Structure 1
Amino acid sequence: MTVPVRELQTPAWASRSFRYLLGSEATSLAGSAVSTIALASLAVLELRATATEVALLAFVGQLPSTLALWAGALSDRYDKRRQLLGSDLAAAGALVSVPVAAVAGVLTIGQLYVVLFLLGAARVVHDAAAISLLPAVVAPNQLHNANSKLGAASSVADSAGSNAGAALISAVGPAVAVLADVASFLVSAVLVGRMRPTQPPARRDAHRSLVQDIVAGVRYVVGQPTIRTVIAALSVLSFGLAILNTYWAFYLLTTLDISPTAFGVIMGVGSLGSLAGALLAPSITARIGIGPTIVAGFAVSPLAQLPLLLAGPGLRWEIVLAAALTVQLFWATASGTSQRSLRQALCDPRYQGRMQAASTTVTAGSRPLAAAIAGALALLLDVPTVLAIGAILQVVPVLLLLASPVRALRTMPVPPASTSVPPAREGEA
């Protein structure tokens, strides 16, 4: 059964737990935007990381994504709120070691490897719990609206964090700027602690191992054609982007001679496109349909890489790159919000964590391999050629979606009554 997309725009704001989840996600993302710029600046400009070391940093940071299936099975078995708390505190603990070591004069590239691995592990646990928790925080017909608000808040947080990161790095240096992300994780933990979601009963069957739960989850996802197709397209797009992103910051900071401040501004301006895409996603899907919105987001991505491949040093190109990133993130966020809502609406609540984890495994889980391949390619080819390969690969998922029923999907499916998650309790308002 399906309903028009416009009927899925019932406000999700009435749920107190949703407001806390929204605040938690936005706060931690703002902090992470600061540390993304700060850690890249530390590695490239202060620790003088080589191209190979930059690729290895990307590889190590993405490596924990390969454990996503385990995180998904755990999120379906145990309390998701506690998993959010634990991941926030673990991330804060890992990050605080960076400024401490920098002040002591003992910071090394090896320590950044460890910190990025721990941050990646915390993020995998956090994402599996947070994304699969959303259907327990809002009613099924509020999912698209809730994802739109989460996307908008995340975009604002990312933009604010990028600009704040650029300012903080200029004012206090990249190492001390990392403390902003430490504080953001602590605030996020406080907000998560105040949540009271209506979660499905925990599945802690002593006769079933985690491996059996993982296998059951994978079989479920493989048996859902629409979910399976979207995840396959996401995985290929992610692989292409990961090859390109391995050297994106390195290329901008070195070959194009963009300063850390300008780098932060480009990311901040680009995030405005993400904000607009999140806010307008329900309206776009109502006008052109859920399927075309998803396809458009995938199609814009490879086209948006052309300015990067043609760019040279100078303010004019910095403006062009910011504009291209803005357009890319607008459609990426509108498409991402729509495909996430589509997958959540179609998925049985008992498999939400494992479905999201399956998506993470084949998308984020492919990034370490992509980073390793990018590093190997850079030994044989120049960096611009590696960037071009990453851009060309992003055409493949567009072809996958155009050949599937997703392109013709105009309305948002709703879950059968037997698998719907009940709306939030009255006490949540």
Structure 2
Amino acid sequence: MTVPVSLWRHRTFRRYLSGQAASVTGSAISSMVIPVLAVLELDASTAEVAWLTFLGQLPPALLALHAGALADRHAKRHLMIIGDLVSAVALATVPVTAALDRLSLTQLMVVAAVQGAAGVLHDAAAISLLPSLVDRSLLQRSNSRIGILFAISATAGSNLGAALTALLGPARALLGDVLSHLVSAWCTARIQVTAQPRVTAERGHLHTEIGQGLRYVQRDHRLRTLTLVNATTSGALALLNTLWALYLLRSLAMGATVFGVVLGLGALGAAAGALAAPSLTTRYGPGPMMLTALALTPLTQIPLLLASPGLAWQIAIACALFIQLACAAAAGTTQRTIRQSITSHGMQARMQAVSTWLTASARPAAALLAGGLGTWIGVRPTLVAGSVLLLVPLVVLYRSPVRGLMDMPNSPGTGSRAQAGTLPGPSAPPASGPVSTVDGRHDRSTEGGP
């Protein structure tokens, strides 16, 4: 009988995970602090909050495909380190200018855009690096461990952000995220990667490689369906998330500390979902499990839409967020494992880049739409519209054969034993080599939580 390999004894995996967990902790600090800084310190309007969100989410839509091609072409560790250092420098300018009493909403928007661009480069490399660090048989367990630790990191980061905001003020609290990027860069520099065969990249043909990635995803309807589910989910959640902080902080009169605690408690759901994902997929099958998670997600918005100021509603919102992030993490780790398992090594970054590009492209448009609708019809009706849109990815998955996928595929070009011959894998590119795992800073553990 084969003894299960302990991922916690896998030194390279531990270093990778430590760096990414530090980065997620910092992202949670910024996710909590930046809305507070914009709304409470800079008195941002509904439209300005929407623009801030739009500029932060625009870089993935513009740069994801190029970043994916670069990550398949160059050393992934170097790209990750560059992204971390650029983000650290950009964020460090906020407390500096705030100390000089020169901080403006315009600067905050520029920082959001620069950090977003650096994050695209980092994440394209980080997501595609993991399948070369662990054997394919360990991918689902790896994604589950990553989801758990990332959820814990997000919880710690949200609570740490609330504490730092109370102690130092929101601007200086961003130094926590600066430190997280430096720790991430240090851990990444210590990762030892075994040389893997790569597609030989010809300089000046980046668009050709991008086209290969687009065709690769389009040919396999598992990749195509899961990418479309991600994109439609992202658009609906972007509409909700753009006004989520504004609604809680202003309409429901939630304090900054309570806001951070609610985010932290809700993030525990992501840990629970990631922990349960392997056993749920084994018992019910990845297709039915993902379908159920997508069906529950719109229902978790009901407490938010009915809420009024008060402790009881704050608890209800935290509980609903717990369930939403549990569903998102369970479905997210599962679909990510499926995509990584059926994709050959030389296409990992470009496959993920296509998903990131389509998913990210929906976010800026949804952010602007949220700002327009929020100004025109009000914040709460806009949140209702976003909740209704969460039904779209459910319909997409329900109409696809992927809903009936009962086992995890194990390697490129093969389906699960229940679906073999029905769900063919994508063809490997000519020069890619076989090898024996986590999304961007925006949605690493949840595939799109608030």
**Taking structure 2 as the reference length, what is the TM-score of the superposition?**
0.90
CA offsets per residue over residues 146-167 of structure 1, 9 Å max, x none?
Answer: 1111111100000000011111
Correspondences of 1:107-256 after superposition (within 5 Å): 107-206=103-202, 209-256=205-252
* 8 Å Cα contact 1:56-1:372 kept in structure 2: yes
Distance 1:257 1:61 in 2: 25
Of the candidates 14, 19, 27, which is equivalent to residue 24 of structure 1?
19
Shift of 1:198: 2.6
- Residue 39 in structure 1 maps to residue 48 in structure 2: no
Shift of 1:281: 1.0
Shift of 1:50: 0.5
CA gap of 1:9–1:113, structure 2 versus 1, over 3 A, is: farther
Correspondences of 1:370-389 after superposition (within 5 Å): 370-389=366-385
The equivalent residue for 1:262 is: 258
Runs of 4+ in 1 over 6 A off after TM superposition: 417-420
The equivalent residue for 1:57 is: 52
The equivalent residue for 1:316 is: 312
Distance 1:9 1:33 in 2: 33
Larger helix proportion of the pair: 1
Number of aligned residue pairs: 417
Distance 1:80 1:271 in 2: 29
Q: What runs of 5+ residues in structure 2 fail to find an aligned partner?
A: 414-427, 437-450
Structure with more contact order per residue of length (Cα contacts < 8 Å, sep ≥ 6): 1
Distance 2:182 2:294 in 1: 35
SS in 1 for 2:406: coil
CA offsets per residue over residues 281-320 of structure 1, 9 Å max, x none?
Answer: 1111111111112222222211111111100000000000
* 8 Å Cα contact 1:10-1:145 kept in structure 2: no
Letter in 2 for 1:247: L
The equivalent residue for 2:418 is: none
Distance 1:127 1:349 in 2: 16
Distance 2:140 2:4 in 1: 6
Distance 1:314 1:354 in 2: 47
Of the candidates 334, 343, 347, which is equivalent to residue 351 of structure 1?
347
Of the candidates 280, 288, 299, which is equivalent to residue 284 of structure 2?
288
Of the candidates 294, 299, 316, which is equivalent to residue 295 of structure 2?
299
**Taking structure 1 as the reference length, what is the TM-score of the superposition?**
0.94
* 8 Å Cα contact 1:297-1:333 kept in structure 2: no
Distance 2:226 2:360 in 1: 14
Q: What runs of 5+ residues in structure 1 fail to find an aligned partner?
A: 1-6, 424-429
Distance 1:240 1:53 in 2: 20
Distance 1:207 1:45 in 2: 48
Shift of 1:191: 0.3
CA offsets per residue over residues 307-334 of structure 1, 9 Å max, x none?
Answer: 1110000000000000000011111101
Shift of 1:63: 0.4
Distance 1:296 1:93 in 2: 42
Distance 1:54 1:310 in 2: 23
Correspondences of 1:61-72 after superposition (within 5 Å): 61-66=56-61, 67-72=63-68
The equivalent residue for 1:4 is: none
Of the candidates 275, 281, 284, which is equivalent to residue 279 of structure 1?
275
What is the CA RMSD across the aligned residues, in angstroms?
A: 1.7
Shift of 1:122: 1.4
* 8 Å Cα contact 1:35-1:181 kept in structure 2: yes
Distance 2:261 2:215 in 1: 44
Distance 1:399 1:393 in 2: 11
Shift of 1:37: 1.3
